[in-house]
Amino acid sequence: MAFELVAASRAEDAKTTPWRHVIRTGLALGGVNLFMAVVGILLAFQSRPIIVDTLTLGYATLGLTLFAAGLLVARRGLFGHRDPTLVGGVVAGILAAALPALLAAVISLVDLRSVFVALNPPLLAMLTFGQQPALLGIACLLVLGAALGGAGALFPLLGDRIRRPLAGGLIAVGLAGMLQELIRPILANSRVTKPVHDLLYTWSGLTLRGAVIIFLAVALAVLLWDLNRRRIETAVGHLKPQTQRRIRWSYMGAAALLVALFPLFAGNFIGQVLLIVGLFTLMGMGLNIEVGLAGLLDLGFVAFYAVGAYTTALLMADSPYALAQLSFWQAMPIAVLVSLIVGVIFGIPVLKIRGDYLAVATLALGEIVRVIVLSDAAAPLLAGSSGILQIPRPEIGGLVLSTPVSLFYLTLAASLVAAYVAWRLGGSRLGRAWMAIRDDEDVAEALGINLIQVKLLAYGIGAAFAGLAGSIFAVMLGSIYPHSFQLIISINILALIIVGGLGSLPGVAVGAAVLIGLPEMLREFGEFRYLFYGLAIIAVMRLKPAGLWPSAAKLRELETDAEDVAVHQRAPVAERSS
């Protein structure tokens, strides 16, 4: 069936004429522009400068879609020649600009704010570039669409020596402008880098001079690398394997050192973002054991996170609900142990359940924990909806870990320990048993694997990792509430390990950085950041279905599947030739 669908899709592609593709591409990207304008994304982006007094994020986004219209026309290669491709790109760019231009014309004639709040005079001023009358601005928008569409069509036709430096320089300028709230404080807070800040930025953002400098520097660097890449790779290839390994480890060590020291210079906001990413990385490592290694889909994983947080709070808080007055270093191992025990207890009712039914059952168990915490029956012990307050910060030799940066280093240390444990478990006999039951429980049982023991260990060890994250979360906030442990946390953890790569420890960290760090960095755009969150997941699943950093086993499976598909595709050809 799958091969029939692929064949039908290819047959439909063969029927597509070049101009039909141009029209579809232009209207599709015009629809994207129309959607962003109607829901308010373009207007929200318009307030964010990329280059001060020159380019805003709103205009950059609009221009990027117009450029992409011509680029997609050229990448398909349906015309085959340069001049028709250029004309096709121009037409696609005009069509991509036509829909927002039509919207601007409607806004100028009819007040639609009672239907769509975002369709207001500021949006009209943006789409018409502030021109009066509006018809003049609409004509400018169509001309811009034609110019950028043509540029997009010509871009793939340029040689690598021109295209790669241009792309690198433009991407660098865009990142320097979008991340200026992160970059400027780092450069301005050091005497060494303060002159660089003054050369590139003002206190309001990236200057035009700075954008030109960044573009030229990055473009030149890319060009020099392209010119010398083959020579460098040849020289490195002639080195001894031990020397090559030392070079790789040196690069990795330098990169790890930069990441570790980065929060010291970036400030508390970045430290807070990295702290949250670290907590989700910890939980992701635990769920990766259950889902990535053992194949046990768990949607109630947030319950173990809550158990670790509440155990730490009850053992540390200066509160009537506290059971003891322990330090963090005394309470944290107990919280991990309690989470492990709860994980084993939760695993017992679902031992015989598989697949989607297991996901629903674990989801129910997680909700049971939340309901119990909120119930009146447990309120004398767990404080109910009022939460547990006055949880002290951790201390090391009289030094109180009270800032996000210091707590980030605590989370980093815990993540490194957890990663080492997970790595050793993955290569152990227990890890191989987990992978066996993931692939086929019946075969694993026939081979003598104790399914009950192996599954309960997966639930317990995964829960222990979540309990460790919950313990740090409790001291990070200084108070905990039941509403901090919603179902969405379990979904986010599952999403990040899928995006990063099931069964891959580096993939967990990469997935957490993309799916947790990205929305935190985009808080200024309000609810729109969740739209980018969804788009990021869709893009990764389309472009990297195995994850951003897949495990070696997953890559081998994909290669085997690709070989099987190739064999099945060659078989009909061989039959016809015979």
Same domain, 215 and 281: no
The type of residue at 309 is A
pLDDT at residue 275 greater than cutoff 80: yes
Please check whether residues 179 and 141 belong to one and the same domain: no
Is the pLDDT score of 424 beyond 70? yes
- 2 CB contacts (<8 Å, ≥6 apart)? none
- The mean pLDDT value of the chain amounts to 86
Q: What percentage of the chain reaches a pLDDT higher than 70?
A: 92
Q: Is the pLDDT of residue 297 over 70?
A: yes
The encoded tokens of residue 221 equal 């660097």
pLDDT at 147: 95
Residue 12 pLDDT class (50, 70, 90 cuts): very low
Residues 29-44: b if buried by 16+ CB within 10 A, e if exposed? bbebbbebbbbbbbbb
- Give me the pLDDT at residue 570, please: 61
Kindly tell me if the per-residue pLDDT of 11 is higher than 50. no
Last residue of a domain, one of 172, 205, 226: 226
User: How would residue 6 be classed by pLDDT, with cut points 50, 70 and 90?
Assistant: very low
Alpha helices of 348-447 — where are they, by DSSP H? 355-374, 379-382, 404-426, 429-439, 441-446
Percent of the chain topping pLDDT 90? 43
Residue pair 421/308 in contact by the 8 Å Cβ criterion: no
- Which residue has better confidence, 173 or 239? 173
Same domain, 208 and 271: no
Q: Which residues are CB-contacts of 257 (< 8 A; sequence separation ≥ 6)? A: none
Return the pLDDT at 565: 57
- The 10s digit of each residue's pLDDT in 188-244 is 877 888 889 889 998 888 999 999 999 999 999 999 999 998 888 888 888 888 888
SS (H, E, C) 20-49: HHHHHHHHHHHHHHHHHHHHCHHHHHHCCE
> How many other C-beta atoms can be found within 10 angstroms of the C-beta atom of residue 376?
8
149 and 189 both lie in a single domain: no
* Of 145-154, 392-401, 462-471, 554-563, the least confident: 554-563
How far is residue 254 CA from its own chain's centroid? 24
546 vs 414, higher pLDDT: 414
Q: How confident is the model at residue 313 (pLDDT cuts 50, 70, 90)?
A: very high
Instruction: Note the pLDDT of residue 266.
Output: 76
- Give the ranges where 110-207 is alpha helix by DSSP (H): 121-127, 134-154, 160-178, 180-188, 194-200
Is residue 430, in this structure, part of any structural domain at all? yes
Q: Is residue 253 part of a domain?
A: no
CA distances from 235 to 225, 230, 241, 243, 244 (A): 14, 9, 12, 12, 11
Q: pTM for the whole thing?
A: 0.82
Q: What residues contact residue 423 under an 8 Å CB cut-off, 6+ apart?
A: 505
- Residues 405 and 464 occupy one common structural domain: yes
What integer is the mean pLDDT of 72-86? 80
Determine the pLDDT at residue 136.
93
Average pLDDT over residues 174-190: 82
Residue 556 clears pLDDT 80, i.e. is over it: no
* 435 lies in the same domain as 513: yes
Q: Among 59, 457, 40, 123, which residue's Cα sits nearest to residue 290?
A: 457
Would the pLDDT of 469 be above 80? yes
Confidence of residue 5 (pLDDT cuts 50, 70, 90): very low
Q: Tell me: do 193 and 81 sit in the same domain.
A: no
- Residue range(s) defining the domain that contains residue 213: 160-226
Q: How far apart are CA 225 and CA 227, in angstroms?
A: 5
524 in the same domain as 457: yes
310 part of a folded domain: yes
Report if residue 567 sits inside a domain: no
pLDDT digits (tens, 9 = 90+) for 371-419: 888 888 888 888 888 889 889 999 888 888 888 999 999 999 999 999 9
Tell me, yes or no, whether 40 and 171 share the same domain: no
Please indicate, yes or no, if residue 22 is contained in any of the structural domains: yes
Total number of domains in the chain: 3
Same domain? For 309 and 445 the reply is: yes
pLDDT beyond 80 at 119? yes
Q: Of 222, 209, 148, whose CA–CA distance to 176 is shortest?
A: 209
Q: Based on the fold, state whether residues 70 and 173 are members of the same structural domain.
A: no
Lookup result for tokens 């028709």: 84
Q: Count of CB atoms within 10 A of residue 99's CB?
A: 19
Map residue 12 onto helix, strand or coil: helix
What does the pLDDT read at residue 55?
Answer: 92
Q: Judge if 314 and 402 occupy the same domain.
A: yes
Q: Which amino acid is at 570?
A: R
For residue range 20-58, list pLDDT tens digits in order: 999 999 999 999 999 999 988 898 888 888 999 899 989
